Structure 1
């Protein structure tokens, strides 16, 4: 399996994309951008939280590069933290997998 990016030709998240993200997370083969670190610090989200979401979270959407130029391309994965918060992690491809932001999302009853 070629784990070098995403299939930007379709909006559906592919199983191989998720498998590659989880493999990279398990092996520590991803980076967290400066922007993501800043946002994580502001929002009380740790690197451990992000890794846990990448390993165990639910992929919820894919932002394609040609659809909305204001949104960075990537796959959004959500997961619950031990303190009850749910966060969304966006991971993209920048020569390797790269977390580009992480933020809390509202859990709807």
Structure 2
């Protein structure tokens, strides 16, 4: 599984395209997320879901969410399912909520009945995921 999403892949299907095509380009947070809106845009959701379909999202340590909810650890497939098919519920913008990284959260229910919130954030050159469970 490749973990890093190049700048060109992030901007694919976006109206913002770099003038020079280079894999070494590091995108700013403002190029990945629209910080002027407090809701997820279609373009942001499309970028994130494309990265998930291409298996190019780094899965961070999400065992804390399982421990807090008293449930077993989530699988990568569980997280992918929520990102691909869940509902977008919120957008955290660090300028507004400085205690959290900027990102978009997806909410859904797994086949097992567990409810899961998966937040996808951006760090320099890649998307990464954190997960939170509901009891």
TM-score (norm 2): 0.68
CA RMSD of aligned residues (A): 1.9
Give the paired residue count. 103
1:20 and 2:47 equivalent?
yes
Tell me the residue number matched to 2:32.
Answer: 5
TM-score by length of 1: 0.83
Counterparts of residues 33-72 of structure 1 (less than 5 Å):
33=60, 36-39=61-64, 42=67, 43=71, 44-72=73-101
Please, which runs of 5 or more residues in structure 1 have no aligned partner?
none
Name segments (4+ residues, structure 1) moved above 6 Å.
none
- Contact 1:40 1:46 (C-alpha < 8 Å) held by counterparts: no
Structure having the higher strand fraction is 1
- Pairwise CA distance, 1:58: 0.5
Structure number with bigger Rg:
2
Q: 5+ residue gaps in structure 2?
A: 1-12, 17-30
